[in-house]
């Protein structure tokens, strides 16, 4: 009887290990699928979900933004910068309470910025990724972006004279 019981217990261990290995393999495959998303960009001309955003200044350390909502409070918590391709993308995070500040500094000093990044600053209006169970859909992350132009440099010349 002892032989049958120990043989049965070792069989359970084998089954538990096999199930654990299979579950781990599925998790690794799904994680790999989610990390290999290709971005697809959609350009939008006006704000869809956010306030008016304008770049006040940009250098290799900070991008300073002016935020203005059309007579509405702005619910911005923070802005995460990411370099994608040859552009700088600003991903906003929103909160439930409105912010008071009209200017936001986004640090970019730790990023590996491309050569002409100042001409390619984008505000991300929205982004969507396929759900984990949609394995038959193309692995595409859709990003709706709005181009932010730097202010024109002041020449210092005056018309009076």
Summarize pLDDT for 12-61 with one digit per residue, the tens: 777 778 788 787 766 655 555 555 677 888 888 877 666 778 888 889 89
Q: How confident is the model at residue 95 (pLDDT cuts 50, 70, 90)?
A: confident
- pTM for this prediction: 0.66
Q: Mean of the pLDDT values across residues 55-82?
A: 83
Residue 89 has pLDDT above 50, yes or no: yes
**Which among 155, 81, 76, 154 has a CA at the least distance from the CA of 120?**
81
- Measured distance between the N- and C-terminal CA atoms of the chain, rounded to whole angstroms: 111
**Which among 144, 126, 130, 127 has a CA at the least distance from the CA of 33?**
130
Q: How confident is the model at residue 156 (pLDDT cuts 50, 70, 90)?
A: very low
Cβ–Cβ under 8 Å, residues 121 and 148: yes
Q: Torsions phi, psi of 151, nearest 5?
A: -65, 150
């Amino acid at each position: 009887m002892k032989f049958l019981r120990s043989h049965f217990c070792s069989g359970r261990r084998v089954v538990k290990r096999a199930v654990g290995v299979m579950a781990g393999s599925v998790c690794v495959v799904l994680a790999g699928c989610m990390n290999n998303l290709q971005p697809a960009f959609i350009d939008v001309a006006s704000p869809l979900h956010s306030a008016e955003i304008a770049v006040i200044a940009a250098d290799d350390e900070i991008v300073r933004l002016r935020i203005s909502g059309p007579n509405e409070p702005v619910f911005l918590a923070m802005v995460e910068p990411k370099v994608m391709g040859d552009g700088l993308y600003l991903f906003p995070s929103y909160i439930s309470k409105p912010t008071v500040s009209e200017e936001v500094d986004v640090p970019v000093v730790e990023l590996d910025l491309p050569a002409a990044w100042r001409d390619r600053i984008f505000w991300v209006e929205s982004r969507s990724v396929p759900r984990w169970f949609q394995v038959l859909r193309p692995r595409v992350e859709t990003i709706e972006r709005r181009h932010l132009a730097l202010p024109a440099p002041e020449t210092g010349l005056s018309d009076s004279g």
